[in-house]
Amino acid sequence: MQKIDIFNHIFPKPFHELMQRVAGDHKDIGKRVRGIPMLANLDERFRVMDRFGAEYRQILSLASPPLEHLGGPDVSTQLAEAANDGMADLVRQYPDRFPSFVASLPMNSPEGLVTETHRAIRDLGACGVQVFTNVLGKPLTAPEFRPLFAAMAEHDLPIWLHPSRGASFADYLQESSSKYEIWWTFGWPYETSVAMSRIVFDGVFGDHPSLKIIAHHLGGMVPYFEGRVGYGWDQLGSRTSDEDLGAVLQRLKKRPIDYFKMFYADTAVFGGRPATVCGLEFFGVDNVLFASDAPFDPEKGPMYIRETIKIIDELDLSDTDRDKIYWANAVKLLKLKDS
């Protein structure tokens, strides 16, 4: 059966070389990525992919950290161009393995991020763009980033939403840093959920009702907290005394939960079967796409692919619904050639 892995990560060679020159050592997640050969070694990537047969293919996207963490606007623009050129070259050289790629953007360059969006899609053939859940501490719904939503609505291609948070984001106000990698384990799903919430309540879907956004890791915390997102936010304002949040509900054209169900989500939950079932029930089979988050697993490549396939194969799904998750939704959403 054909399988299109829409959220996995790579450092194409030109980008990797430039990153090492301009950014050097990078803490936290940077430590982890340096120890995973599949990220930058194409032969190792092919060896891992070959374990899952010729019908397993990958949509390429850059790994963390966000480019704006590596330098100012000039540096992030250079890095974005190198990453997108490098991924586009891989798609051209190996179309049977890589049907397309997801563009990276210099988010600390408001003009540059839109320019690179258009270049990557129109000139290089990207099937969408990847953004992180905040930009140097600013929400994605800040005015300087809103043109990106308009551009992607115009292209009618999705935004990949990836969480971002480091150890400097403390667990408690009286501490200076997060302990035990809580910033990653629980901080990243929280980041995703917060970004989704701001997109809903700040009116992005209201401005662009056809906008398509893929929330990584099956939508973070949102599916599990369906009751709070639903009936809880139907009472928005009942817990707040210093501003009129009821007016926010009046501006929305439907219930908050219905906007959350407009997101797409991927199956990259690290082999968690209950999470997979929960996410599928919340978003629905038409809005869930197969993804592994490779190569960030204990085996440095194959484990999350293998375990995710095992879960999907064992779920009580019709062949049609399983096809939707594995490849048909991706073909439709990303406008891929159906092969």
Query: What's residue 337's pLDDT?
Result: 85
Query: What's residue 35's pLDDT?
Result: 85
Question: Can you tell me whether residue 5 is helix, strand or coil?
Answer: strand
Q: Give per-residue pLDDT as tens, 41-73.
A: 999 999 999 999 999 999 999 999 999 999 999
Q: Considering the domain boundaries, does residue 258 fall inside one?
A: yes
162's tokens? 């990836």
238's tokens? 């009942």
Query: What's residue 22's pLDDT?
Result: 86
Q: Give per-residue pLDDT as tens, 214-236.
A: 999 999 999 999 999 999 999 99
Q: Considering the domain boundaries, does residue 339 fall inside one?
A: no
Q: Considering the domain boundaries, does residue 44 fall inside one?
A: yes
Q: Give per-residue pLDDT as tens, 121-133.
A: 999 999 999 999 9
Q: How many structural domains does the chain have?
A: 1
Q: Is 147 in contact with 110 (CB distance < 8 Å)? A: yes
- Residue-by-residue DSSP string for 86-129: HHHHHHHH-TTT-SEE-B---TT-HHHHHHHHHIIIIIT--S-E
Give me the phi and psi of 215, to 5 degrees please: -85, 120
State the residue range of the domain holding 291.
3-334
Q: Is 224 in contact with 278 (CB distance < 8 Å)? A: yes
Query: What's residue 25's pLDDT?
Result: 62
Cα distance from N-terminal residue to C-terminal residue, the chain: 11
pTM: 0.96
Q: What is the residue type of 320?
A: T
CA distance 237 to 243: 8
Q: Considering the domain boundaries, does residue 187 fall inside one?
A: yes
Q: Count other C-beta atoms under 10 Å from residue 317's C-beta.
A: 15
Kindly report the average pLDDT of the chain as a whole number.
96
Q: Considering the domain boundaries, does residue 200 fall inside one?
A: yes
Which CATH number goes with the domain that contains 120? 3.20.20.140
The predicted model gives 141-167 an average pLDDT of 98
Q: What is the residue type of 45?
A: R
Q: Give per-residue pLDDT as tens, 166-208.
A: 999 999 999 999 999 999 999 999 999 999 999 999 999 999 9
